Amino acid sequence: MPRNLGVKDGRLAPCPSSPNCVSSQSIDREHAIEPLAYTMALPVAHDDLKKIILGMKRAEILSDTGTYIHSEFESAIWWFVDDVEFYFDDDNKVVQVRSASRYGAFDHGAYTP
């Protein structure tokens, strides 16, 4: 389990230089993805996302603070684990997302969420 996960000063951990991580807060194009926008109240957006995660195969929520969710997604082949984090930035009505493979340097172009 990585020790650098979580939100610090409104930011998720930066991606390492390896190509097995994406983040909506990344400043480099190789690792950048868009955040998820929402328009409803934070508790509703949070509950909706939580239902989606729990409805997916091989997904588990490890921690949930109401504004941050840390989940694990396990691949169907070889059971590799990705740590996927969601941070609700309610001031901007977006969910910041970070997904990183726990093992290996590549994810072969596939990432979660």
Q: What CATH number should be reported for the domain holding residue 32? A: 3.30.310
- Number of folded domains that form the chain: 1
Residues whose CB falls within 8 Å of the CB of residue 107, separated by 6 or more in sequence, listed in order: 19, 20, 82, 101
**Is residue 112 a part of any domain in this protein?**
no
Domain that holds residue 40: 18-101
User: Cα angle at 67 between 92 and 41, to 5 degrees?
Assistant: 60
pTM of the model: 0.88
Classify residue 8: in a domain, yes or no. no
> What is the C-alpha separation between 109 and 89, in angstroms, rounded?
27
pLDDT in tens, 12-64: 999 998 888 999 999 999 999 999 999 999 999 999 999 999 999 999 999 99
